[in-house]
């Protein structure tokens, strides 16, 4: 982690997926996640279809598998949890490879792993094909409250500032031989946080003053208005629609 974090998310490109207006992509991904979560856990084939759907999107968007896999590290804590489930779960036990595991735990582990992974991959694809700033413009078009959009906008603007400060402070700390190891080091981390806040605040304040000086009154002027045609909406709806069809089928089958 560290600086540059925000820039690794987006993979510039010029594909159908990249060109889709963000206000179409955001709800499409959210709807996909909802459909996935609503799918019964024993409909294995449905999850297979979802994987294929996401793979198709990735292929169209030319996002390499390696990129997606690397970003999936974010999921690791819950993988650890899911692996523990069959061991610590309650209920009827089954014998798998000589281990006594909870059947219910195995089901739960599969359920969480499958759904969380699909959700994570969908979000990764969204972020990989949409510039953060465009994403916010899309949110604005979707009538997300203006204040929330602006907080997010400033957050992105200040993130680089803060991560930069943070890296400089870490270098300063570590070049004097400090590594956080146990609880006695907590005050050092905490003091760093305080100093970090003030340093970034003062930087952020100057940026804000510069904006105020140029007539900023609390809302970003929309210069390039990105309209969405019915066709874009239809294209974006392909993913959740296909997923929904799969889910409906899985409900009726089981």
Region of 50-58, 71-79, 231-239, 245-253 interacting with another protein (CB under 8 A): 71-79
* Token pair belonging to 103: 């059947």
C-alpha–C-alpha distance, residues 238 and 32, integer Å:
10
Question: Distances from the Cα of 190 to the Cαs of 161, 184, 185, 194, 210, in angstroms?
Answer: 19, 11, 9, 6, 30
Under the criterion CB under 8 A, does residue 135 sit at the interface with another protein? yes
Under the criterion CB under 8 A, does residue 61 sit at the interface with another protein? no
CB of 29 to another protein, least distance (A): 7
- Measured torsion, CA atoms of residues 107, 112, 114, 119, in degrees rounded to the nearest 10: 160
Region of 48-56, 161-169, 228-236, 245-253 interacting with another protein (CB under 8 A): 161-169
Q: Which of 16, 37, 52, 226 binds another protein (CB under 8 A)?
A: 37
CB of 238 to another protein, least distance (A): 18
Under the criterion CB under 8 A, does residue 26 sit at the interface with another protein? yes
Q: Which of 16, 59, 172, 186 binds another protein (CB under 8 A)?
A: 186
Q: Which of 66, 176, 183, 230 binds another protein (CB under 8 A)?
A: 183
Q: Which of 16, 185, 234, 251 binds another protein (CB under 8 A)?
A: 185
CB of 80 to another protein, least distance (A): 5
Under the criterion CB under 8 A, does residue 217 sit at the interface with another protein? yes
Q: Are 54 and 124 in contact (CB under 8 A)?
A: no
Give the per-residue SS3 of 64-117.
Answer: CHHHHHHHHHHHHHHHHHHHHHHHHCCCCEEEECCEEEEHHHHHHHHHHHHHHH
Region of 13-21, 55-63, 67-75, 243-251 interacting with another protein (CB under 8 A): 67-75
Under the criterion CB under 8 A, does residue 237 sit at the interface with another protein? no
Under the criterion CB under 8 A, does residue 227 sit at the interface with another protein? no
C-alpha–C-alpha distance, residues 228 and 174, integer Å:
50
Task: For helices 103-129 and 132-141, give the axis angle rounded to 10 degrees.
Answer: 100
Q: Which of 151, 172, 238, 245 binds another protein (CB under 8 A)?
A: 151
């Amino acid at each position: 982690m560290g600086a540059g974090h925000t820039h690794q998310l987006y993979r510039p490109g010029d594909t159908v997926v990249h060109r889709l207006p963000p206000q179409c992509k955001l709800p499409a991904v959210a709807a996909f996640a909802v459909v996935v979560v609503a799918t019964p856990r024993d409909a294995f084939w449905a999850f297979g279809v979802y994987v294929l759907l996401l793979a198709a999107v990735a292929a169209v968007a030319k996002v390499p598998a390696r990129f997606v896999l690397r970003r999936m590290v974010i999921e690791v804590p819950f993988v650890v949890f899911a692996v523990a489930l069959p061991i610590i779960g309650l209920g009827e036990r089954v014998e798998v490879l000589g281990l006594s595991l909870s059947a219910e735990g195995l089901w739960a582990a599969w359920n969480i792993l499958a759904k969380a992974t699909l959700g994570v991959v969908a979000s990764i694809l969204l972020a990989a094909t949409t510039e953060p700033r465009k994403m916010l413009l899309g949110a604005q078009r979707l009538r997300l409250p203006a204040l929330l959009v602006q907080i997010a906008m400033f957050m992105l603007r200040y993130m680089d500032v803060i991560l930069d400060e943070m890296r400089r402070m870490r270098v300063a700390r570590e070049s004097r031989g400090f590594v956080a190891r146990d609880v006695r080091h907590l005050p050092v981390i905490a003091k760093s946080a305080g100093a970090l806040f003030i340093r970034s605040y003062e930087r952020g304040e100057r940026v804000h003053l510069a904006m105020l000086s140029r007539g900023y009154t609390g809302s970003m002027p929309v210069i390039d208005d990105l309209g969405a045609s019915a066709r874009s909406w239809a294209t974006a709806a392909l993913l959740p629609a296909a997923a929904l069809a799969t889910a409906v089928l899985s409900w009726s089958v089981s």
